Structure 1
Amino acid sequence: MAQKLALVTGAARGIGLATTKLFLQNLWQVAMIDRDAEALSQAASSLDGTMPIVADVSDPDQVDDMVKAVMSKFGRIDAVVNNAGIAEFGPIEQHDFAVWRRVMETNLDGVFLVSQASIPALRESRGAIVNIASISGLRASTLRVAYGTSKAGVIHLTKQQAAELGEYGIRANCVCPGPVRTKLAMAVHTPEIIAAYHDAIPLNRYGSEEEIAQVIFFLCSDKASYVTGQVIASDGGFECTGVGLPALRKSD
Structure 2
Amino acid sequence: MADKLTSKTAIVTGASKGLGHTLTQRLAQGGAWVIAAARSENRLKELAATHEKIIPLVTDLTHSNDVKRMVDTAVTETGRLDILINNAGLGHFGRVEELTEQQWDQMMDVNLKGAFLACKFAIPHLIKSKGHIVNISSVAGTVTFPGGGGYCASKFGLQALSDVLTQELKKDEVKVSTLCPGSIQTEFFPDPRDHALTPEQVAETVWMMVTADPGVIFNQVIMRPQVPPELQK
In structure 1, the partner of 2:157 is 153
1:140 matched to 2:144? The reply is yes
Q: Distance in 1 between matches of 2:208 and 2:6?
A: 20
In the alignment, which residue of structure 2 is the partner of 1:84? 88
Indicate yes or no: 2:22 matched with 1:18: yes
Residues of 1 paired with 2:187 and 2:122: CA distance? 31
**1:184 offset after TM fit, Å?**
4.7
Partner of 2:61: 57
Answer yes or no: is the 8 Å Cα contact 1:218–1:224 preserved in 2: no
Distance in 1 between the 2:159 and 2:131 partners? 19
Instruction: Indicate conservation of the 8 Å contact 1:132/1:176, yes or no.
Output: yes
The alpha-carbon distance between structure 1 residues 65 and 93, as it changes in their structure 2 partners (threshold 3 A), is same
Give 3-state SS (helix, strand or coil) of 2:232's partner.
helix
User: Which residue does the alignment assign to 2:196?
Assistant: 206
Q: Shift in Å at residue 183 of structure 1?
A: 4.1
The structure with the greater share of residues assigned to helix is 1
Tell me which of 210, 220, 224 is aligned to 1:231. Answer: 220
Q: Secondary structure at the match of 1:39?
A: helix
Take 2:215 and 2:162, find their aligned partners in 1: how far apart are those partners? 16
Runs of 5+ consecutive residues of structure 2 not aligned to the other structure: none
Q: Number of paired residues?
A: 226
What is the alpha-carbon distance in structure 2 between the residues aligned to residue 14 and residue 49 of structure 1?
Answer: 19
1:246 aligns with 2:227: no
What do residues 35-72 of structure 1 show as CA deviations (whole Å, max 9, x unaligned)? 12121122212221111111111111111112111111
Indicate the residue corresponding to 2:206 in structure 1: 216
Indicate the percent of aligned positions where both proteins have the same amino acid: 27
Q: How far does residue 91 in structure 1 lie from its aligned partner after superposition?
A: 2.1
Aligned partner letter, 1:179: S
Q: Give, in whole Å, the separation in 2 of the partners of 1:14 and 1:73.
A: 25
Structure 2 length-normalised TM: 0.90
Moved over 6 A (4+): none
**Mapped pair 1:118 → 2:122:** yes
For the aligned residues, what is the CA RMSD?
1.9
TM-score, normalised to structure 1, is 0.84
